[in-house]
Structure 1
Amino acid sequence: MNPDDVKALVETGFDDADVAVEGEGDRFLIRVVSDAFEGLMPVKRQQLIYACINDRIKDNSIHAVSLKPFTRAEWDKAQKMGIA
């Protein structure tokens, strides 16, 4: 898979998300900025993202992922602090 394919998969699961994907082959870093994460614990946020890519994990198209879910407010703060 390529990053654009993974990005398209993740975007299908969110109405208002800013999705960025880095990586190649079967290993990816996925950043999702969405207000859908508001009030959710980290595990629930990850589950929302995994729901979009689970079929590709099952067929081994994706082997390893690193997930970075943010609300819009968290993302703005992270950028201002220079940690994003």
Structure 2
Amino acid sequence: MDNNEIKNLLINALSPQEVYVTCNGNHVQVIIVCEQFIGISNVKKQQVVYAPLMKYIVNSRIHSLSIKALTPKEWQFYYKLNTL
């Protein structure tokens, strides 16, 4: 799978405010910002992101998946922290 394919899947499924995808073969890193994450645990955020990608994980098109799932407020803090 490529970056755009995964990004489009997540956009269609979750309507995030921001989504960044990096693929290295079947190893995928996702940073996703979504209002849907407000008030839910980190584990639940991970589950929400895994759901639309599960069939690709099961058939090994995605072997490993690293997720940073953030609310818009968390994103502002994360973005500022990582751009200083």
Question: Structure 1-normalised TM-score?
Answer: 0.90
Q: Offset at 1:82?
A: 2.5
Contact conserved, 1:3 with 1:24, CA < 8 A, in 2? no
- Higher mean Cα deviation, 6-15 or 44-53? 6-15
Q: Which runs of 5+ in 1 are unaligned?
A: none
Task: Identify the residue that residue 64 of structure 2 maps to in structure 1.
Answer: 64
Q: Which has the higher helix share?
A: 2
Question: What is the RMSD computed on CA atoms of the aligned residues?
Answer: 1.3
Query: Percent identity between the aligned chains?
Result: 29
Contact conserved, 1:12 with 1:52, CA < 8 A, in 2? no
Question: Structure 2-normalised TM-score?
Answer: 0.90
Q: Which runs of 5+ in 2 are unaligned?
A: none
Q: Offset at 1:25?
A: 1.5
Cα distance in 2 for partners of 1:23, 1:15 equals 20
- Higher mean Cα deviation, 74-83 or 62-71? 74-83
